[in-house]
Amino acid sequence: MKRQIFRLSALLLVGAMAFSACTKEGPMGLPGKDGKDGKDGRDGRDGVDGTAGCIQCHDNSQVNFAITAQWERSLHATGGLFVRNTNTCAGCHTSQGFREIIQTGSGNTAATINNPVPPNCYTCHNVHTTFTPADWGLSTTANVTFRIDPTKSHNFGKGNLCATCHQPRLPSPMPTMDGPSINITSATWGPHYGTAASIVAGKGGFEFGTGYTNSAHVNVITQSCVACHLTTASGIDGGGHMMNLGYTTSTGAAAVITTSCTTCHSNATDLNNLITAKKAELTALKTQLSDRLVQIGMLNPTTGRVNTGTWTSAQAGAFINYKLVSGDKGAATHNFPYAKKLLENSIAAIQ
């Protein structure tokens, strides 16, 4: 038995030696060609902070919060008119619709806007487009062609953004000077409501007669709406992204934020007295014209809308001018000479 174990051990030893001899490495061969470099990876320790782009706008100055708080008190946010989302209204009443019409150049959207939202940051600015401060650029600065008179246009500077919508629409049918009578079939006929751009520019009214002039504001205030209405906010009364300049004080008195005006009108008391006087003058003329329109049966004194029927071109033009001036709550400061002449000449035309 011992002799068999010895023989088996000897055989294993010889086998191991043979195997070792077969796998023994020879001399090193020539070096091979260099392989292709791999793609460099990102160094996570030395890379750019993921928030570096965000903090260009979203810093700790709280400016964005202040602007948002102001906007939340504005009529843009609280007016509720964004529910007017059909294709003929959505272009100005909804944020999505406005972005569409400034891209297409059409006055209407292609269809009703679903899930409409009111005008907001994304409406007026190119938010989250480049993710840099350039995103605060305005969504449109193109000169404005008037809907009520497409032969006329105006450059409101940065205010082109505002005037795109804050302008009268084209009534249908539209009367022509010394033209035939027109048949009005809708009580909502007229230049619509936000008519400020037409008064500010001194264009688009139904201009009876002669004598039309403009306020110095038309040429002096190159950024138009933006220059005055986005003045430094005054508490919770107006200015900033609230954008209103007229407000009611805690005692119920009417007041106007004049911060942007004092560059030229250095005496604030005199300025406020001037504004009050011009407003009163326009109010008296509007009352005179509205009384005449009621007298001839064209203006419904209860609804403030037109009575349907057939009206002469002069009567229809006078109604348009009445609505143009009435629809611009700031007409006395925007362009008093033009607004006054529209009313005076309209009164004379339908006596």
Does 111 lie in the same domain as 175?
Answer: no
229, 243 Cβ separation under 8 angstroms:
yes
Whether 194 is covered by a domain: the verdict is yes
pLDDT for position 35: 79
CA atoms within 13 A on the CB side of 177: 10
Is 230 in the same domain as 95?
no
Q: What is the mean pLDDT of residues 194-210?
A: 97
Domain identity same for 135 and 177: no
Number of domains into which the chain is organized = 2
- pTM value surpassing 0.75: yes
Q: How confident is the model at residue 164 (pLDDT cuts 50, 70, 90)?
A: very high
DSSP 90: H
CB-CB neighbours of 115 under 10 Å: 7
Q: Give residue 133's pLDDT band: very low, low, confident or very high (50, 70, 90).
A: very high
Evaluate if residue 8 carries a pLDDT over 90: no
Whether pLDDT at 130 is above 60: yes
Average pLDDT over residues 176-187: 98
Predicted confidence (pLDDT) at residue 229 exceeds the cutoff of 80: yes
Q: Is residue 195 part of a domain?
A: yes
* Average pLDDT score over the chain: 91
pLDDT at 29: 76
Reading the block at residue 115, the tokens are 């899930």
Shared domain check, 130 and 172: no
Q: Give domain status of residue 251, yes or no.
A: yes
Last residue of one domain, picked from the residues 93, 122, 139: 139
User: Are both 187 and 234 inside the same structural domain?
Assistant: yes
Residues 182 and 265 in one domain: yes
Q: Are the C-beta atoms of 86 and 94 separated by less than 8 Å?
A: no
Helix (H) or strand (E) run with residue 112 in it: none
Same domain? For 214 and 290 the reply is yes
Task: Examine the pLDDT at 173 and tell me if it is beyond 90.
Answer: yes
Could you give the CA distance from residue 151 to residue 207 in angstroms, rounded to a whole number?
A: 14
Full DSSP string of 135-190: GGSBS--PPEEPSS-TT-EE--GGGHHHHTTSS----SS---TT---EEE--TT-S
Asked if the structure places residue 152 within a domain, the reply is no
- Please name the residues in contact with 76: beta carbons below 8 A apart, sequence gap of 6 or more: 118, 119, 120, 243
Assigned domain for 35 exists: no
286 domain-assigned? yes
Residue 30, pLDDT score = 80
pLDDT of 9 strictly over 60: no
Burial bucket for residue 145 (CB in 10 Å: 0-12, 13-18, 19+): middle
Query: What is the C-alpha separation between 81 and 119, in angstroms, rounded?
Result: 10
User: Which residues sit opposite 166 in a β-bridge?
Assistant: none
Percent of the chain with pLDDT over 90: 81
What pLDDT was estimated at residue 315? 98
pLDDT value of position 39 = 74
Asked if residue 341 and residue 277 are part of one domain, the reply reads yes
DSSP 54: G
Q: Note whether 173 and 111 are same-domain residues.
A: no
pLDDT tens for residues 92-111? Answer: 999 999 999 999 999 999 99
Residues 93 and 184 in one domain: no
Is 274 in the same domain as 175? yes
Domain span at residue 90 reads 61-139
Per-residue model confidence (pLDDT) at position 45: 58
Does 133 reside within a domain?
A: yes
3-state helix, strand, coil in the chain (%, to 5): 40, 5, 50
The verdict on 265 and 228 lying in the same domain is: yes
pLDDT in tens, 38-77: 776 665 555 667 778 898 899 899 999 999 999 999 999 9
Residue 1, domain member (yes or no) = no
DSSP states along 264-296 = T---HHHHHHHHHHHHHHHHHHHHHHHHHHHHT
pLDDT digits (tens, 9 = 90+) for 330-346: 999 999 999 999 999 99
